[in-house]
Structure 1
Amino acid sequence: MSASPESLVRRVKIRENVLRGRVKTRAKFCLSSASVKNNSRSSLTPALFLLGRIRPSSGFARSFLSLTHRIKKMQRRHFLSVMLASAFYTSNVNASGKPLRVVVPFQSGSATDTAARLIGDNLSKAMSRPVVIDNRPGAQGLIAAKEVINSDPSGDVLLFSTNTAVTGINSFHKKPFYDPLTDLSPITQVGEFPFFLVTNANLPINSTEEFIKYAKANPGKMNYASGSSSSLIAMAQLIGNSGLDLQHIPYNSEPPAVIDLVGGRVDVMFATPTTTAGFIQEGKLRALITTTKSRLDKYPNIPTMTDSGFENLPLVPWGGFFGPRGMPPALRTQLSDVITATLSDAQLIAALAEHHITVTTSNPEEFSSFLKDQLALTLKVVKENGLVRD
């Protein structure tokens, strides 16, 4: 950046957290080109406090005074860069003063919704701003995704979703609805969401082996539900590997599908522990498999895929935060940092573990790379199982 011969005036909004409350102060920094060029601290110090009302004893004032000591070693353009960066990072992710709206592609009571609310409560405290969960179910997550894609990338609206609304929905059609790598701004992964393979308890099925035997004895007569594209993909993998013939009944969300499974209108499905655990404990549903790599401590009698003679599914549900397209990289990193820090809280980790969600975080670059790999793998599985639609 070339130096201007004219005086530069910069207004920097400074939010200073003090012991007994939040005090907003403003300082007008009048930095003349001559004073910077001559490396004069004496000319800078009055400018720092001009109209600022910043107490010299405050931490923020000391930081800027310390900064002036280094001006002698800086070129003018470097100094201005530091000042702008300081202005950005002293503001927080609540710069707009608005609540953070987290859009969820499934209805209340789903595993994704439950996780969003648990994380949102802690995130609200960490960011000192309200967090509102906005449920937008339907169209396998497309409604929620479009809501965020078309929002302003200011950090006030985020998508919290599993792979269903991101990689899943864009793999079933020859022409994807949108490109998750460019139309969304990946922020951080949150964790893995396991599935149970569950059946109605009235069926004469007590294991995966018995399920396959029963389904083969009744070709085309059994049905299965899917409450998400992830559920559908998991079932398609099992059906394809076992050579079964089952009728598919799609649902917009998991909870109503599980209700119909309990009521006997559906025979089998892959669903999350969040929506099925209570019915399993009541004896209304029977869990045949868990997609976790090892048996769950809370459900030691539910075998893994490997225990049941199957290879682990190459695709398992995961969840993460996304911003609208065009979100500035610095803001993505800032949001990723605060969300990652929030997810390090032991009580939150334990609360998510109650729903068998394993916390896994990443920075925006890592999450983008992971997303790219997951999209390619999902496309491969969908094509192999004949799930591509016109």
Structure 2
Amino acid sequence: MLRIVANRLSSKWGQPVIVENKPGASGIISTRSIVEAPADGYTLGMVVASAVTIMPFTVKSLPFDPVKDLTPISLVARTPFIFIVSKDSPLKTWRDFVDATKARDVSIGSFTVGTAFHLVWEQTSRRAGITALYVPSSSSGKTQNDLLGGQLDIALDAPSSAKGLIDGGRVRALAITSPSRFSGLPDVPTLNESGLEGYSSQPWISLMGPAGLPRERVLEIQQTVAGILKEPALQEQLANLGMIPIGSSPEELAKTIAEDRAAMEPLIKELDIKLQ
């Protein structure tokens, strides 16, 4: 996704946009590099939601202040999650899953504790008034194998990871967490359609810079990003990656960060999640 956006920005600005990958620690490493960069508008970064809305409450010594040390530019895209079951599962709908949790012990698999996947499940289960055994895994592939092997009743996955299995008929999608249907999987109903009225939960990826970026530079960058995200070809590319393009204003991104932090902090404290 980063390279797709960078290539279009390079074309718009008429100068190279160099991509430097700094993976690891749920986005902490890459976010720290943004914080430490000069505030001249030439070093920006894609910041995942977890780095500023989850990690501050799970990691004891975060090497930056997510509110004071970063300048919000734009919420670039949202990344809904999807509930899937194996093709042989008796669960045909989200309602079937809800009913099953009240009749017997049910297991759900996804990524490790403290990730966005885990916390989206915790939010959703509370909203639905259900419980299930959460089985954490180090990868989507392992969770999918456990689901196909019958070790799990249901899994929470990313559309980009699950689409091949869905298209191949090996799994069925029960519901997606976006507020409206996702163009990449238009036949999959939303949780809102499935009985959780008014509910959606979507992590996101944003463009941010170091603190102190000049306002005019922030707006110039945001307007360019918002413009390219309206291009049909780029929208299709992002849909193939399981993403919904947004292109928000800096103020909208700041508001989203504040709202998500307010929702995540008490949930993380309730679950007593502490990461090294």
Q: Normalising TM by the smaller chain, what interval?
A: 0.7 to 0.9
Q: What is the TM-score of this pair, normalised by structure 1? A: 0.60
1:190 alignment partner, SS class: strand
Alignment-derived partner of residue 145 in structure 2: 263
Alignment-derived partner of residue 205 in structure 1: 91
Alignment-derived partner of residue 261 in structure 2: 375
Structure 2 residue 106 is matched with structure 1 residue 226: no
Q: How far did 1:331 drift? A: 2.9
Mark the runs of 5 or more structure 2 residues left unpaired by the alignment.
Answer: none
2:196 alignment partner, SS class: coil
* Structural mapping, 1:87-126, within 5 Å: 115-126=1-12
AA aligned to 1:185 is: T
1:189 alignment partner, SS class: strand
Structure 2 residue 154 is matched with structure 1 residue 243: no
Distance in 1 (alpha carbons) for counterparts of 2:90 and 2:201:
29
Structure 2 residue 174 is matched with structure 1 residue 288: yes
Q: How far did 1:124 drift? A: 1.4
Alignment-derived partner of residue 51 in structure 2: 165
- Contact preservation (8 Å) 1:230, 1:316: no
1:133 alignment partner, SS class: coil
AA aligned to 1:243 is: I
Aligned equivalent of 2:24, options 122, 138, 153: 138
Distance in 2 (alpha carbons) for counterparts of 1:284 and 1:261:
14
Distance in 2 (alpha carbons) for counterparts of 1:300 and 1:188:
26
Q: How far did 1:179 drift? A: 2.6
1:197 alignment partner, SS class: strand
1:135 alignment partner, SS class: coil
- Contact preservation (8 Å) 1:185, 1:326: yes
- Contact preservation (8 Å) 1:234, 1:270: no
- Contact preservation (8 Å) 2:35, 2:64: no
Question: Judging changes above 3 Å, is the alpha-carbon distance between structure 1 residues 363 and 128 closer, same or farther for their aligned structure 2 residues?
Answer: same
Question: Judging changes above 3 Å, is the alpha-carbon distance between structure 1 residues 387 and 144 closer, same or farther for their aligned structure 2 residues?
Answer: farther
- Contact preservation (8 Å) 1:188, 1:362: yes
- Contact preservation (8 Å) 2:177, 2:201: no
Question: Judging changes above 3 Å, is the alpha-carbon distance between structure 1 residues 204 and 172 closer, same or farther for their aligned structure 2 residues?
Answer: farther
- Contact preservation (8 Å) 2:80, 2:158: yes
Q: How far did 1:215 drift? A: 4.4
Aligned residue pairs, count: 268
Aligned equivalent of 1:321, options 204, 207, 218: 207
* Structural mapping, 1:274-313, within 5 Å: 274-296=160-182, 299-313=185-199
Distance in 1 (alpha carbons) for counterparts of 2:175 and 2:221:
36
AA aligned to 1:371 is: I
Q: How far did 1:379 drift? A: 2.5
Q: What is the TM-score of this pair, normalised by structure 2? A: 0.81
- Contact preservation (8 Å) 2:108, 2:156: no
Please give the root-mean-square deviation of Cα atoms over the aligned residues, in Å: 2.9
Which structure has the larger Rg?
1
Alignment-derived partner of residue 338 in structure 1: 224
Distance in 2 (alpha carbons) for counterparts of 1:269 and 1:262:
7
- Contact preservation (8 Å) 1:289, 1:304: yes
Structure 2 residue 32 is matched with structure 1 residue 150: no
Question: Judging changes above 3 Å, is the alpha-carbon distance between structure 1 residues 322 and 297 closer, same or farther for their aligned structure 2 residues?
Answer: closer
Alignment-derived partner of residue 105 in structure 1: none
Distance in 1 (alpha carbons) for counterparts of 2:198 and 2:21:
31
Mark the runs of 5 or more structure 1 residues left unpaired by the alignment.
Answer: 1-114, 252-256
1:270 alignment partner, SS class: strand
Distance in 1 (alpha carbons) for counterparts of 2:155 and 2:246:
26
Query: C-alpha deviations, 1:142-163, integer Å up to 9, x for none?
Result: 2222222223333333221331
Distance in 1 (alpha carbons) for counterparts of 2:197 and 2:97:
17
2:195 alignment partner, SS class: coil
Question: Judging changes above 3 Å, is the alpha-carbon distance between structure 1 residues 288 and 133 closer, same or farther for their aligned structure 2 residues?
Answer: farther
Distance in 2 (alpha carbons) for counterparts of 1:216 and 1:134:
48
- Contact preservation (8 Å) 1:198, 1:285: yes
Question: Judging changes above 3 Å, is the alpha-carbon distance between structure 1 residues 202 and 149 closer, same or farther for their aligned structure 2 residues?
Answer: farther
Query: C-alpha deviations, 1:241-267, integer Å up to 9, x for none?
Result: 33313134153xxxxx22112212673
Query: C-alpha deviations, 1:220-241, integer Å up to 9, x for none?
Result: x724212783222211123333
Q: How far did 1:289 drift? A: 0.5
Distance in 1 (alpha carbons) for counterparts of 2:160 and 2:77:
15
